[in-house]
Structure 1
Amino acid sequence: MMMDKVYIKKEGESAEGEWGTFYFEFADNYVTKQIEVYPAKVIYLDENNPEEGEHMLGDQPLDQLDFDSSDRITAEEFYQLWNNRK
């Protein structure tokens, strides 16, 4: 079965109060990959690596989050960043 994927880019504040840009890949309404870009670091999270320090893979379903159509990006935009991880 083909998963319906949605890609989101949103600026905001982390749980620690750090301002950054967040990128999400949602598959079947849930986050499967997440990138957090801060001035001094980039955090990559996915189902195999769901937490790094205080950072955790989002667990809220897409339909319960406050995103609008202007927050959507393409898979290519998401994977340009994702594929740069070390």
Structure 2
Amino acid sequence: MESPTLTQQAANNTKEQFANSPDLQSELENAIIAAYDAHTLMSTQALDSKAVQQALKDILLNHALLWEALRAKATESPAR
């Protein structure tokens, strides 16, 4: 969380005092909303674009090693 107000409060207060700051609650809510908005926008863009979907599939298969991870998981535990 990037917040000059919270940074200053963390520097000048105990952890307990900081945890009770009303600014912490509002900054947390703002961060959650910002993350939600960003994920919603990205999801909409991905759903609306076959090119984005293909790029995501490429990343999952060739860089994140999705197939290898799932195959390893399947061989570690018996099928149900």
Does the alignment reach a TM-score above 0.5? no
TM-score normalized by the length of structure 1 = 0.16
Higher relative CO (CA 8 A, sep ≥ 6), structure 1 or 2? 1
Larger helix percent: 2
Q: Rg bigger for which structure?
A: 2
Larger strand percent: 1
